[in-house]
Structure 1
Amino acid sequence: MATLKHSLDDHHVLNPTAPDKPIVEDTIEARRARRMAALKKVAGIWSHRPDIPADGLEYQRQLRSEWQA
């Protein structure tokens, strides 16, 4: 049974029909595949922006040059 601990001794049932075990396959390979799928969605998110350098190191230097010491 899925519960949410509200206080030290008070538990509230979130979903009494929910199974105790997760439905999603949770092997190392499955977790790695889910993580890679999420990373691929955001990879290159700024790649087509003309206002920032394509080189990540150059972009960091540009940002840090604006910091006041």
Structure 2
Amino acid sequence: MAILRHSLDHHQLVDAATDEGPAVEDTVEARRARRMVALKKVAGIWSDRSDIPADGLEYQRELRAERR
């Protein structure tokens, strides 16, 4: 599998794929699909907590109020 090193404006292929198998598809749609799979794994990880507000904005305001 190829390893892609990324900086702000430069992409560099570090290790190209050999005969290990098919390379990972790197289209906009494929990247979006991989990102959605990752996001769905973590969506709702705090949903069962009762010690924090369910509303993210309310939670953020509480956090900021603690710094004063």
TM-score category (smaller protein): 0.5 to 0.7
Q: Please give the per-residue CA displacement for 1:18-60, whole angstroms capped at 9, x wherever unaligned.
A: 42xx811111111110000000111111011000000001000
Report the equivalent of 1:53: 53
Gaps of 5+ in 1: 3-13
Gaps of 5+ in 2: 3-13
Q: Identity over the aligned pairs, expressed in percent? A: 75
State the 4+ residue runs in structure 1 displaced beyond 3 angstroms. Answer: none
TM-score by length of 2: 0.66
TM-score by length of 1: 0.65
Report the equivalent of 2:33: 33
- Structure number with larger C-alpha Rg: 1
Report the equivalent of 1:6: none
